[in-house]
Structure 1
Amino acid sequence: MTNGGETEPIPGMGALAAPKPGSAAKPAGKEPKKGARRPAERLPVARVLVDVPLPHLDRPFDYLVPEQLDAQAVPGCRVRVRFAGQLVDGFLAERAEGSDHEGRLLFLERVISPEPVLTGEIAALAREVADRYAGTVADVLRLAIPPRHARVEAEPAAAPQPWRPDPPAPGPWAHYPAGPSFLAALAAGGSPRAVWTALPGPDWPQAIARAVQAALASGRGALVVLADGRQVARVDAALAAELQAPSRHVALTADQGPAERYRRWLAVLRGTARAVVGTRAAMFAPVRDLGLVVLWDDGDDVHAEPHAPYPHPREVLALRAHRCGAGALIGGFCRTTDATVLVETGWARPLTAERARIRAVMPRVRPAGDDAELARDEAARTARLPDLALRTARRALADGPVLVQVPRRGYLPGLRCERCREPVRCAACRGPLSLRSAQAAPDCRWCGRIAGGWRCPECGWARLRAAVVGAKRTAEELGRAFPGVPVRTSGREGVLDAVDGRPALVVSTPGAEPVAAGGYAAALLLDGWALLGRADLRVAEETLRRWMNAAALVRPAAPVVVLAEGSLPPVQALLRWDPVTLAERELADRRELGFPPAVRMASLTGTPAAIRELLEAARLPPGAEVLGPVPVTDEAAAEGPVKERALVRVPRRAGPALGRALKEAQGVRSARRAPDPVRVQIDPLELL
C-alpha cells in the first residue's frame, strides 16, 4: 500500500505503509498511462474509517476516489479498500480536495453500497464513545451499524412525509407534579432532562409513549431503549395506540432477523420512521433531528454491552442528548446510584410523585420475620416458605394469580454433602454439581458430565442435600402445598409474556415476571438471602430493583411478602416504597469509600506482564490510584495463562483523561506487537 509514510509490519495484516492522520496524495506529475484510473475532478480524496480494530490505527486513512466512482462515493457509504495488502471494509467519512501527505495514494477498490449508512452525528458519537471507553471507532461502528442486506437496500424506499402529531394530554404524567410541564417543554421544542421514579402499576409504557408523542409534536425524533423484547413489545403497542400511525415508529430487536431489522433500521436512516423503540443496540439508531432519548430500568445488567469497548446505554444516550440538544428521560421503578449522580450534578431533575399518591398505589409489603410473625410461627425467620407466605398466597388465590419470585433458576442448582455440608464438585473440572429434576443424576454445570456414583471426598458419604433451591423445585413444592391450583413457571427455559386473571401460582426468576391481567393478587419474594448475600458492590440497589420490579406488578394495596430481615436498608426501602433514599445513601457510602459512580474506575485484565507493560506506558492523570493487580479467580478456566486484574481509580472529573491515557497506552502496545492483550473496561459493572 502506498499511502506514504514508512513501511512497518502489522501483526496479522502484512506490511503497511501507515499514513499520518489526515494524509492524502499530491497529484502525480506525469500523465497517467492509458487505461489507468483517474481521480475524481472534485474532492478527489476520500477519508476512510477502515474496519481494523488495532488501537494504533484508530484514525482515518486517505484514498483517491476514481472518477468512475465519483457519484457513488458519498460520505457515509460503505467502501472496500486495500489495506496492508488485504481488502478490508470501511466507511467513507468525508471527501476533501487534498491533503498534506507527500506520498502516493491508492484508489478506492469499490463502493460496496452508495447508501450513506454512517451519518455525521453517529460518526462523531462513535469517536466520542471510543475515546470515553478507551476503545476504537471500528469497534463502536460494529455495534452501531448493522450488516448490510443488498436485497433490502434495493427495495423501493418511501419518501419521508411531513407529519406531526398533536401535543398529548398529560395522561399518566398527571400523577407527577412536574409531569405536565415536562411534556409541555418537549412539545415546545425544549430539552428537559429528568430522572423518573415511576409509580408502581402498568402505566409506564403509556407514559413513555406520551413523552415520545410530545417530542414528535415538536417536529423532532425520539429514541427509546429498553432491556428486553417483552418491554419493547409493550412500549411498541403503546406507541401504536397513542400515535395511531404505525409507520411513523419502528421497533428494533434481535429476534426480528437480520433482514427485517436492517429494513427497519433503513426506515429510520431515511427519515420514514421518526421514533425508535428497541433494545441495547438501538442506542446508536440514526434518528433524524433527535429530540428525546429514553432509557427504562437503567440498572438492569442486560443493558451492559458484552462487546468492546463495552459502552453502557446510559452514557451513550447522555452523550447523544448533550450533542443534539435533546431531552432525556431515565426512568424505572427503582433509582440507581448512577442516575442519582445525574441529579446531584444538576444534569437532570428528579421526576417523582408525591407521597400521598405513592401510598395510594403501592402494595402492602411485609417481611416474614417481624415480631408478630415470630410470636405466631417460630420458624418464620428461617423457613423457606413460612406460614405468613402460605397464608397470604392461600387468601390471594381466591381473587387472582399470585406471583412467586425465586432468585435462582433450575431445580437444585447447588448441592452439598448431607453429612459434612461440603459443596459438591465435579471430579473432572471441579465445577459445581446440580440436579435438573428429582429423577435425574447430578451433573456438572460447567462441563456437563454426569456424576452418578458420587461420593464425598471429605467424608465418603453418598447422599446429597440442597444448598440452593431453584424455580423448578419451588414450583414442585408449591404444587404439593396447593393441590388443584395451576402452577406456571417463567424463566430462562421459557419466559411468559402475560398471564390471565384466573387463580394460579406463577413462579418466576427476576426479570422474567409476566404481566397479569388486572395485576397480581399478591406476591411472594423468596430467598432474600440469595440476593443480599452476593459479593457485589451493587447488591443493595440491585436487590431492591428486582423486588420493586416484581412488586410493581401487584394490585394497589395487595400483599407482598418478602423473606428477608426487616431491618436491612433494602427491605426498609421496599416497605416505604422509597428507592430514592436508598440510592442517595448508597452514593454517599461509595463517595466515602471511593467506589463508582462517585469516582471513575477502569478494569485491566490480562497476564501480569501485559498489565505491567500497559501501566508503564499509560500517562495516567494526576490523582490516579492503581489497585492491585490481583489474580483473577475463574475456576472454570482450567487452561490458559494466569491472568490478573488491576483497577485504576480517578476522580470523576478525570474520567476523560483516564480514557485517553489507557487508549494511548493500548496503541503503544499494539504498535509494538505485544503478544498478550489486555482487556480494558471503563466503569465495569462488576468490581468484586
Structure 2
Amino acid sequence: MSSENEQGGGGAGGSGAPPEQLALIRESVRRAKAPRAKPRTWRGAELAEELPVARVLVDKGVLHLDRYFDYAVPAELDADAQPGVRVRVRFGAGRGRVREGRREGGGLIDGFLVERLATSDYSGPLAALAQVVSPERVLSPELLGLARAVADRYAGSLADVLQLAVPPRNARAEQRPSPEPLPPPPVPAAGTWERYERGDAFLQSLASGGAPRAVWNALPGPGWSEELARAVASTLASGRGALVVVPDGRVAARVDAALTELLGEGRHALLTADAGPEKRYREWLAVRRGSVRAVVGTRAAMFAPVRDLGLVALWDDGDDSHSEQHAPQPHAREVLLLRAAQDGCAFLLGGWSCSVEGTQLVESGWARPLVASREQVRQAAPLVRTVGDQDLARDEAARAARLPTLAWQAVRDGLRHGPVLVQVPRRGYVPRMACVQCRAAARCRHCSGPLEARDGGALWCGWCGREESAWHCPECGSVRLRAQVVGARRTAEELGRAFPAVPVRTSGREHVLDTVPATPALVVSTPGAEPVAEGGYAAALLLDGWAMLGRPDLRAGEDALRRWIAAAALVRPQGEGGTVVVVAEPTLRPVQALVRWDPVGHALRELAERAELGFPPVSRMASVSGTAEAVAAFLGAVELPREAEVLGPVPVPVTPPGRPRRAGGPPPGEQWERALIRVPPGRGAALAGALKAAQAARMAQGSRGGRGGRGTQGSRGGEESVWVRIDPADIG
C-alpha cells in the first residue's frame, strides 16, 4: 500500500480497520521534542482526538485515481474540517516522501473532504491535511451522489464532474450573508396551461406535492415562459424547490422576467455565465444554504444544489448548448433524469419541437405527454408554405437571385404589417460552393475536400488549404459556381438591395439581438439567434432548407425541424396574417411536419426507424477515437459486454491547419480513426463500466500520452492518444 500513499494521502475505501490501527496512526504522527512528558505532535499541532481521519476526493481528473484518499486531521483544523468543505492536501507521485508520519516535499492540490472517520483501512502512515480552504460546506451528500452517478454513466471521473458541478470559490461572496428564506407563495392560477389537455392537472399535482413526469409540446408564441414560471410557482407553493435549465442567457432572461412578474423578487436565483464569477457564486451559495428554493440557469445549473427538490425542468433539449464540452461531456437532459430518479421529484421536458429522446420517454410509459388539441395548434400556429426544387426551376426570379417569387411576395406583404424574419443556415462570407447547373458539390482535386470562397475571393480547400484557380464540374463540365449556402451578411446585403427603403438588421454569432420593435424591418438571423419581435413577426423566410437537411448526420432532419419550428413559433398566428415560407423540398418528412405543425408525429416516426436500425437513443453507443494504432490497442484490451457490436474504425476528417481542435477530435493535420461501439437497451451501464476500466488501466500504465488531463475524456498528445465518449452527438 506504500505506493498508494506516494500517489496521495493513503488508501481508498471505507472504514472497518481494527481499533489498534488508530493507535498506530497516532503513534506514527507524534514525536517527543523534550525529555519531559509532552503530547506528541504533528508539526507542532496535536492530532484530532475524535474522527482523526479525513476521507478526501482529490481534484485529479484521471480515471486511475478516481477514488478517495485518507489523510490525518490535525487538531487545529478539527473544527473547520467538516464533510463538504474544500481542503488542500499534499499529493503527487515522486514529488514527496513520507517520513515518520509526515510528507516532505510534494505539491499541494485542491480537494473535497467527503467524510470523517475514526480509522483508516490504509495500514501505513497518513499525511495530514495541509489546509481547510474555507469552512463553507459546498459539497452535500446529495450532490456527491449525483456526481458519482453522472461519472459512472459517462465513463468519467468524479473529480471532473465536480469541476462542473461546484463553481470556483469567491471569498467575498462567501463572506456576504444570504437572505432569509421566504415562505411558500400561494398556488398560482392555471393561466394559459388550460390550453393543454392535461395542463391544469399537471399544475395541481405539483402544488399538492406530487411528482408528475411529462414531455411538454409547447404551443407557438411567447406564452411558454409564463407557463414554465407557473409550473415553478406551483412547486414552490408545495414547500419544495424547483430547477429550470435553458439553452442560453437570452432564454434564461425571459424565464427570469416571467418568474419575477409572477412571484416578485427574492424567490429564485439566476445562474448564467453573464452574471460574472462573484455574483454567480453568491447566487449559488444562496441556493446551497437554502435561502432560495428555485433556480433558472444555463447548462451548468443542472447541478444546482436546490433544497428539497420538487421539480426539474428542461427547455429545448435538442439544442447543442445542453451538451457539456468538458469531460465527461454530460447532457443536461440525462443529468436531470438522474436527479428526478435520485430525488423522486417531478420532471418536465418542454419545447416547441419534440426530440426523439423525449418521445422515447413517453413511449416507454415513464412520462406522460402534455400536448394541446389540434384546434388549439391551428389557432396558435402561422400558415406555412413551401418552395421546392421544381418551383425554383420554373421561377426566373429564383434563378437570378436566391429569393423565389413566393418568398418575395411574403416579404413584401409582411413588411406592410411589421418585421419579417429571414433565417439562413450559416454565417458570414465563407460559403461552400456547388455547380450552378447540376448542384454537384465543388471539391478539391487534391484531397476531395470542400471548396470555399473567402469574402467572394479565390477558392480554397477547407481540408488541405490549397487554392483552386481552374475549377470545372466533373459531372457536367460547367465552370460556373454558386454558393450552396449564403451567410447572414451576404443575405442582408441582397435583401437590402431588393427592399432599399426597409431597415435590415442582422443577428448572429458576432452580435445577437434580443428583441426587435414591431416596426417594419428585415431581420436576418442564423438558427438559434432569432430575436423576439414585439407582437410577433408578420412573416418569416426559412432559406436554404435543403442545406440543413443534407448534413451527413443522424439528427439532420430532427435538428432542421427543431430550428424551423423555433423560428416559425415567433411569427404571428395564421388568424393574424402570420406566414412562413420554407425553401425546401415539400415531400420531405421534416418539411411536411412543419407544414402540419406536427413535431410529435415526426419524432415518433424517427424513433420507430431508429429502433428498427438499432440507432440511439434505442441503443446505447460510445465512440473511441485516436490514432489507428491506439484505437486498435484499446479495442484489443477492453473487455466489452458480450452483446457489444464494434463498428469501424473509420478515418476521422482531418482538422485543417489553423482551425481550432474539436472536442475529442484530432490535432490539426493529424490523421485519426474512430470506432463506434453499440449495445442493446439495458446494457449502457456495462458498456460505460468496461470503457472506464480499460481507460483507467491504460492511464495507470503510464504509456506515452496516457495521462488524461482536465477537460478531456481520454489521454492527450502523441500517437497513443485515445478519446472515449458516451452517447456522441455526431455519429453521422
- Is this contact kept in 1: 2:432–2:450, CA < 8 A? no
Q: How does 1:579-618 map onto structure 2 within 5 Å?
A: 579-618=599-638
Give 3-state SS (helix, strand or coil) of 1:47's partner. strand
Q: Which residue of 1 aligns with 2:648?
A: 628
| Residue 652 of structure 2 is aligned to residue 653 of structure 1 | no
| Residue 368 of structure 2 is aligned to residue 354 of structure 1 | no
The CA deviation string for residues 20-42 of structure 1, in whole angstroms up to 9 with x for no partner, is 42368633274543453332112
Q: Which residue of 2 aligns with 1:62?
A: 70
Q: Which residue of 2 aligns with 1:571?
A: 591
Q: Which residue of 1 aligns with 2:502?
A: 485
Choose the corresponding residue for 1:19, options 8, 11, 16.
11
Give 3-state SS (helix, strand or coil) of 1:27's partner. helix
Distance 1:115 1:429, change over 3 A: farther
- How many angstroms apart in 1 are the aligned matches of 2:581 and 2:482? 26
Distance 1:68 1:16, change over 3 A: closer
- Is this contact kept in 2: 1:22–1:61, CA < 8 A? no
Q: Which amino acid aligns with 1:678?
A: V
Q: Which residue of 1 aligns with 2:699?
A: 670
Distance 1:16 1:66, change over 3 A: closer
Shift of residue 666, structure 1, vs aligned partner = 1.1
- Is this contact kept in 1: 2:484–2:547, CA < 8 A? no
TM-score (norm 1): 0.92
The CA deviation string for residues 79-121 of structure 1, in whole angstroms up to 9 with x for no partner, is 0011123211100011111132221111101101111111111
Q: Which amino acid aligns with 1:310?
A: Q
Q: Which residue of 1 aligns with 2:98?
A: none
- Is this contact kept in 2: 1:26–1:101, CA < 8 A? no
- How many angstroms apart in 2 are the aligned matches of 1:572 and 1:467? 23
- Is this contact kept in 1: 2:55–2:69, CA < 8 A? yes
Shift of residue 616, structure 1, vs aligned partner = 2.9
Q: Which residue of 1 aligns with 2:230?
A: 210
- How many angstroms apart in 2 are the aligned matches of 1:432 and 1:268? 51
Distance 1:354 1:418, change over 3 A: closer
Distance 1:73 1:15, change over 3 A: closer
Give 3-state SS (helix, strand or coil) of 1:537's partner. coil
- How many angstroms apart in 2 are the aligned matches of 1:503 and 1:456? 44
Q: Which residue of 2 aligns with 1:108?
A: 129
Q: Which amino acid aligns with 1:40?
A: A
| Residue 679 of structure 2 is aligned to residue 683 of structure 1 | no
Q: Which residue of 2 aligns with 1:456?
A: 470
Shift of residue 374, structure 1, vs aligned partner = 7.9
The CA deviation string for residues 422-477 of structure 1, in whole angstroms up to 9 with x for no partner, is 747799998854333x6x77788789x997xx723779x99975343111111111
Q: Which residue of 2 aligns with 1:82?
A: 90
| Residue 212 of structure 2 is aligned to residue 183 of structure 1 | no
Give 3-state SS (helix, strand or coil) of 2:266's partner. helix
Give 3-state SS (helix, strand or coil) of 2:23's partner. coil
Q: Which residue of 2 aligns with 1:262?
A: 281
| Residue 527 of structure 2 is aligned to residue 510 of structure 1 | yes
- Is this contact kept in 2: 1:429–1:636, CA < 8 A? no
Q: Which residue of 2 aligns with 1:73?
A: 81
Q: Which amino acid aligns with 1:594?
A: G
Identical residues among aligned pairs (%): 59
Q: How does 1:538-557 map onto structure 2 within 5 Å?
A: 538-557=555-574
Distance 1:642 1:144, change over 3 A: same
Unpaired runs of at least 5, structure 2: 34-40, 93-105, 658-666, 705-719
Distance 1:635 1:106, change over 3 A: closer
Q: Which amino acid aligns with 1:396?
A: G
| Residue 418 of structure 2 is aligned to residue 400 of structure 1 | yes
Distance 1:310 1:367, change over 3 A: same
Q: How does 1:519-558 map onto structure 2 within 5 Å?
A: 519-557=536-574, 558=578
- Is this contact kept in 2: 1:412–1:466, CA < 8 A? no
Shift of residue 56, structure 1, vs aligned partner = 1.2
- Is this contact kept in 2: 1:269–1:286, CA < 8 A? yes
| Residue 206 of structure 2 is aligned to residue 192 of structure 1 | no
Distance 1:15 1:67, change over 3 A: closer
Distance 1:422 1:548, change over 3 A: closer
Distance 1:374 1:67, change over 3 A: closer
- How many angstroms apart in 2 are the aligned matches of 1:62 and 1:505? 64
The CA deviation string for residues 608-636 of structure 1, in whole angstroms up to 9 with x for no partner, is 23223322332222211011111112242
Distance 1:298 1:50, change over 3 A: same
Q: Greater CA deviation, 403-412 or 278-287?
A: 403-412
Shift of residue 65, structure 1, vs aligned partner = 1.0
Distance 1:542 1:87, change over 3 A: same
Q: Which amino acid aligns with 2:85?
A: C
- How many angstroms apart in 1 are the aligned matches of 2:279 and 2:448? 42
- How many angstroms apart in 1 are the aligned matches of 2:224 and 2:260? 15
The CA deviation string for residues 183-202 of structure 1, in whole angstroms up to 9 with x for no partner, is 01001111101000000000
The CA deviation string for residues 574-622 of structure 1, in whole angstroms up to 9 with x for no partner, is 1110011110100111111111001000011112232233223322222
The CA deviation string for residues 395-419 of structure 1, in whole angstroms up to 9 with x for no partner, is 1111111111111111352346889
Q: Which residue of 2 aligns with 1:272?
A: 291
- Is this contact kept in 2: 1:433–1:445, CA < 8 A? yes
Q: How does 1:306-345 map onto structure 2 within 5 Å?
A: 306-345=325-364
- Is this contact kept in 2: 1:44–1:95, CA < 8 A? yes
Q: Which residue of 1 aligns with 2:95?
A: none
TM-score (norm 2): 0.87
- How many angstroms apart in 1 are the aligned matches of 2:493 and 2:340? 49
Unpaired runs of at least 5, structure 1: none
Q: Which amino acid aligns with 1:660?
A: G
Count of paired positions = 672
- Is this contact kept in 2: 1:7–1:15, CA < 8 A? yes
- How many angstroms apart in 2 are the aligned matches of 1:682 and 1:567? 35
Q: How does 1:20-39 map onto structure 2 within 5 Å?
A: 20-22=12-14, 26-28=22-24, 30=27, 32-34=31-33, 35-36=41-42, 37-39=45-47
- How many angstroms apart in 1 are the aligned matches of 2:144 and 2:541? 48
| Residue 407 of structure 2 is aligned to residue 389 of structure 1 | yes
Q: Which amino acid aligns with 2:140?
A: T
Give 3-state SS (helix, strand or coil) of 1:7's partner. helix
- Is this contact kept in 1: 2:451–2:461, CA < 8 A? yes
Q: Which residue of 1 aligns with 2:102?
A: none
Distance 1:214 1:273, change over 3 A: same
Choose the corresponding residue for 1:295, options 311, 314, 320.
314
Q: Which residue of 1 aligns with 2:190?
A: 170
Give 3-state SS (helix, strand or coil) of 1:350's partner. strand
- How many angstroms apart in 2 are the aligned matches of 1:165 and 1:419? 65
Distance 1:502 1:607, change over 3 A: same
- How many angstroms apart in 2 are the aligned matches of 1:285 and 1:422? 47
Give 3-state SS (helix, strand or coil) of 2:197's partner. coil
Shift of residue 148, structure 1, vs aligned partner = 0.8
Shift of residue 334, structure 1, vs aligned partner = 0.6
- Is this contact kept in 2: 1:417–1:424, CA < 8 A? no
- How many angstroms apart in 2 are the aligned matches of 1:466 and 1:419? 12
The CA deviation string for residues 319-363 of structure 1, in whole angstroms up to 9 with x for no partner, is 001111110110101101011111111111111001111111111
| Residue 246 of structure 2 is aligned to residue 232 of structure 1 | no
